[in-house]
C-alpha cells in the first residue's frame, strides 16, 4: 500500500514540472508578440495652415514680425508635443511682437485685431500646458492643431481685407450712384 502513494507523488511532481515549463514558455512568446510603443511625447505630428495669397504679400511686406512668426510656425509644421512645449515661450513672444506691430492701414480694424487676439490666447493656452505637471501628448497636439487653425483664420482675414480693398478700388461707387439719379 505504500507503493501507490509514492507513484502518485512522482506522477504529480512530473505533471507539475511540465506545467511549470510550459507556462514559462508561453510568457516568453507573449512578450515577443507585444508591440513596442513609442513615447507619445516624441511622436511627430503634421500641422498645416492657410496662407496669404501671393498677390497680397507685398501689401504686408513691411510687417516683419508677421513673417518672423510665420517662419517660426513653418518650422513647427512637423513637430512633436515635446518640441511644441519646449518652444512655447518663444512662440508667445513672437506672437506678442506681431500683435503689437500691426502696420497702419487696412489691417488696423477691430475684426483683424480679434483674430490676432484669439491666436494669442491659443498660444497662451499652450504656454499654460508647459506649466502643468501632467503633460499630455494628446492635449498638446490638440492645442497645436488649434493654434494652426487660428493662424489660418488670421491669414484668411488678411486675404478678405485686401479682397475687399481691391473690389472697392475697381468699382467706382460714386459713378454708380450718379448713374442712378
pLDDT digits (tens, 9 = 90+) for 9-18: 777 777 777 7
Same domain as 68, residue 119: yes
The more confident residue out of 81 and 173 is 81
Domain that holds residue 138: 40-176
The beta strand positions in the chain, using DSSP E, are 45-46, 78-79
Domain count of the chain? Answer: 2
Confidence band (pLDDT; 50, 70, 90) for 145?
very high
Same domain as 50, residue 4: no
Taking 50 as the threshold, does the pLDDT of residue 32 lie above it? yes
Same domain as 50, residue 105: yes
Confidence band (pLDDT; 50, 70, 90) for 94?
very high
Taking 50 as the threshold, does the pLDDT of residue 36 lie above it? no
Same domain as 94, residue 6: no
* pLDDT digit string, tens, across residues 44-90: 999 999 999 999 999 999 999 999 999 999 999 999 999 999 999 99
Confidence band (pLDDT; 50, 70, 90) for 34?
very low
Q: Is residue 68 part of a domain?
A: yes
Same domain as 49, residue 95: yes
**Threshold 0.85, pTM exceeds:** no
Same domain as 13, residue 92: no
CATH number at residue 126: 1.20.120
Per-residue confidence (pLDDT) for residue 37, from 0 to 100: 46
Contact between 159 and 153 (Cβ < 8 Å) = no
Taking 50 as the threshold, does the pLDDT of residue 109 lie above it? yes
The more confident residue out of 126 and 173 is 126
Same domain as 67, residue 28: no
Q: Is residue 93 part of a domain?
A: yes
Same domain as 78, residue 27: no
Same domain as 95, residue 65: yes
Same domain as 66, residue 12: no
* pLDDT digit string, tens, across residues 146-159: 999 999 999 999 99
Q: What is the DSSP string of the chain?
A: --HHHHHHHHHHHHHHHHHHHHHHHHHHHHHHHSPPPPPGGG--EE-------HHHHGGGTT-HHHHHHHHHHHHTSEE-HHHHHHTHHHHHHHHHHHHHTPPSSTT-SHHHHHHHHHHHHHHHHHHHHHH-SS--HHHHHHHHHHHHHHHHHHHHHHHHHHHHHHHHHHS-HHHHHHHH-
Same domain as 148, residue 136: yes
Per-residue confidence (pLDDT) for residue 175, from 0 to 100: 61
Q: Is residue 181 part of a domain?
A: no
- Percent of residues, the chain, with pLDDT higher than 90: 62
Amino acid at each position: 500500500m505504500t507503493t501507490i502513494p509514492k507513484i502518485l507523488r512522482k506522477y504529480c511532481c512530473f505533471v507539475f514540472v511540465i506545467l511549470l515549463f510550459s507556462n514559462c514558455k508561453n510568457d516568453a512568446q507573449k512578450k515577443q508578440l507585444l508591440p513596442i510603443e513609442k513615447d507619445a511625447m516624441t511622436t511627430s505630428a503634421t500641422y498645416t495652415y492657410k496662407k496669404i495669397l501671393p498677390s497680397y504679400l507685398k501689401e504686408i511686406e513691411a510687417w516683419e514680425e508677421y513673417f518672423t512668426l510665420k517662419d517660426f510656425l513653418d518650422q513647427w509644421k512637423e513637430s512633436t508635443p515635446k518640441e511644441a512645449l519646449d518652444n512655447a515661450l518663444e512662440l508667445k513672444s513672437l506672437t506678442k511682437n506681431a500683435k503689437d506691430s500691426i502696420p497702419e492701414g487696412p489691417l488696423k480694424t477691430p475684426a483683424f485685431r480679434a483674430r490676432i487676439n484669439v491666436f494669442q490666447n491659443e498660444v497662451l493656452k499652450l504656454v499654460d500646458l508647459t506649466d502643468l505637471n501632467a503633460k499630455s501628448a494628446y492635449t498638446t497636439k490638440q492645442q497645436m492643431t488649434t493654434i494652426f487653425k487660428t493662424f489660418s483664420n488670421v491669414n484668411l482675414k488678411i486675404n478678405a481685407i485686401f479682397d475687399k480693398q481691391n473690389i472697392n478700388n475697381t468699382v467706382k461707387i460714386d459713378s454708380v450712384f450718379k448713374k442712378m439719379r
